[in-house]
Amino acid sequence: MVVPVTLDPPSPEGFYAINNPFLVNGPKGFLEAMTLEDESYIRFDLPGVPPDGVTVYLDPPNKAVCILADAPKEHKYDSSHRNYDGTRLRPKLNYRGINTKIPCTCCEFFSGFTSHMADGVLRLILTKHHTSTPRPPCIYTYGTAQSHHDFPHGTDPNDPNLTGPILIPHICVAQGSQMPYESKRLQNGGLYVRVDMPGVPSDNFTVSVTNGRVKVTGEAPALSHDSAGRFYSGDVAILSTPVDLPVRKIKTIAKNGVIRLVIPPL
């Protein structure tokens, strides 16, 4: 028999991945933002979304960046497709090095953007114009601005100081699974698993079987203005008996920052 694993947020080393327990090191959370010289950069995780599956538009009246995306059901065992709907990102003020939740009003918002979607990650470079002279260091961080996407108290996934035994789902998934791991026991005794590792190219996944555990690792390189690359690793299934299961017998599909495995019965 092959059984799924139980997601365990904290690692033995104390690294807390916030919304993906397979993340071993690298930037935490599904969103990363930074201010450039005359632009702003956003890295936004949309695991499962193909390069042509995302729409980005600017909402100047609300000073919001809106992202709509759809991750199709790639395998018959996927529970459903995933829809990232109405994600609104607003620039926030940074006061004396502290990120606030106050929307920035000193700029004329963004005049345009360029985007690149690959391996389940959307990267945006937004052009902005300020009315103040000299330009204040205002746009420093971004936050979701939809009232129906509420964080548990004290669990903002963009807080780098967040620690604790809480695994936060991807709050911007409007339809479908919000979690980075999904499993389904098959009638023949096998197991199907879907594991999100956004940013990992399809040829950077590795599957291994050791001591009765099926393990997946993946390396996501730092692209564009990413602060760093990301490394994922973790067990995704447990064999009831520690048999020597050849990796070649495990069917794998790696696509758009997601790896899917069909593990045969023992």
To the nearest 10°, the Cα dihedral for 155, 160, 164, 169? 50
* Nearest CA-CA partner of 219 in 227, 230, 234, 228: 230
Q: What pLDDT is recorded for position 151?
A: 41
Q: What are the backbone angles phi and psi of residue 181, rounded to the nearest 5°?
A: -140, 135
Tokens of 155: 């669990």
How many CB atoms neighbour CB 42 within 10 A?
21
148/11 Cα distance (integer angstroms): 31
Q: Residue 247, SS3?
A: helix
Query: Which residue's entry shows tokens 């538009």?
Result: 57
Q: Specify the pLDDT at position 111.
A: 72
Would you tell me how many other CB atoms lie within 10 Å of the CB of residue 200?
A: 29
Strand, coil or helix: what is 34?
Answer: strand
Residue 31: its pLDDT value, please? 83
Task: Give the model's pLDDT for residue 108.
Answer: 60
Tell me what pLDDT residue 247 has: 94
pLDDT of residue 8: 63
- Single-letter amino acid code for the residue at 253: I
Cβ(32)–Cβ(227) under 8 Å?
yes
One-letter amino acid of 180:
P
Smallest Cα–Cα separation from 50: which of 80, 73, 71, 75?
71
pLDDT-flagged residues of the chain (< 70): 8-18, 86-110, 128-167
How far is it, in rounded angstroms, from Cα 104 to Cα 87? 18
| Tokens linked to 165 | 């035994």
Each residue's pLDDT tens digit, 145-188 = 333 333 443 445 445 554 444 567 787 888 899 889 999 999 99
Q: What is the pLDDT of residue 154?
A: 42
